[in-house]
Structure 1
Amino acid sequence: MVEPVNVAITYYSSTGTVHTLAQAAAEGAEKAGADVRLRKVAETAPPETVAARPEWARHLEEAAGIAEAGHDDLEWADAVLFGTPTRFGNPAGQLRTFIDSTGPLWFQGKLADKVYSAFTASNTAHGGQESTLLALANTFYHWGGIIVPLGYTDPVQFRSGNPYGTSHTAGDGPPGELALHAARYQARRVVETTTHLKAGRTA
Structure 2
Amino acid sequence: MSRIQPLEAPWPGWFADAMAKVMPPGVPPLALFTSIASSERAWTKFTAGSLLDKGPLPLRQREIVIDRTTARCGCDYEWGIHAALFAQRAALDDAQLAGSAAAKIDPLLWSEEEIVLLDTVDALLDRKRLDDGEFGRLRRHFDEPQILEIVQLVAFYHGVSLLCGALALAPEPGTPTLPSKEFDHGHS
TM-score range relative to shorter protein: 0.3 to 0.5
TM-score by length of 2: 0.32
TM-score by length of 1: 0.31
- Higher RCO, 1 or 2 (CA under 8 Å, sep at least 6)? 2
